[in-house]
Homo-oligomer: A and B are copies of this chain.
Amino acid sequence: MAASSKIRVLCVDDHPLVRDGIAFALQQQNDMELVAQAKNGIDAVAAFRQHRPDVTLMDLQMPQMNGIDATAAIRSEFPNARIVILTTYSGDIQASRALKLGAVGYLLKGMLRTELIDTIRSVHAGHRRIPPEIASEIAEHYSADALSDREIEVLRVVASGCSNKIVADKLFISEDTVKGHMKSILAKLQANDRTHAVMIAMKRGFLEG
């Protein structure tokens, strides 16, 4: 019964080295067990179905299916899934999306081993583990800064080097509409121009790097 009471952990990250690091940290804990690993979102969903882990560590940027979509997929199928987001940068809107989707924890990749295991235990015990600076940052961003889906769509095309006219053609809307979107994007991100807006959006995770 001692063995079966271990915290069963699933680790999802596209870097084998990071998975090894996590495995290394977990195997030193006698109350935790790494039951499976996945290198992308698709594998993650499959692994979750098969192993039903107590806690899932989920990287955000991954090939094929990212952490957001994987979190959504898992949570919709298993509403009780306890997922901890693993990300590199703190000002990451993707992370707050995942938290809205029901992720219960948030870890920066620059953390220490002890923070990792503390978070796993805490989350397994039913707590949410969101660092205060992140929580405030999210609250901050979510008030005024949140770009609409359409705005992100526009900005993505702009970032690929298209003029307003070209963007309009690609999205089947008028150039003036594109200008309207750009105007609200600049206002929301407090950017000086489109170039600045793209940079800010990248740093905040609206646009993939």
* Of A41-49, A66-74, A159-167, the one with at least 4 CB within 8 A of chain B: A159-167
How many interface residues does A have (CB within 8 Å)? 36
Which residue in chain B gives the minimum CB-CB distance to A28?
B20
- CB of A116, distance to nearest CB on chain B (Å): 7
Q: A110 contacts B20, CB within 8 Å?
A: no
Report chain B residues within 8 Å CB of A179. Answer: none
Interface of A is mostly: helix
- Interface residue A54 (Cβ < 8 Å from any Cβ of B): no
Q: B110 contacts A15, CB within 8 Å?
A: yes
Cβ contacts A176-209/B at 8 Å (1 or 0 each):
0000000000000001111111110011000001
Show 12 A/B contacts (Cβ-Cβ < 8 Å), sorted by A. A15-B21, A16-B111, A16-B113, A17-B18, A17-B116, A18-B18, A19-B21, A159-B195, A159-B196, A160-B196, A161-B192, A194-B195
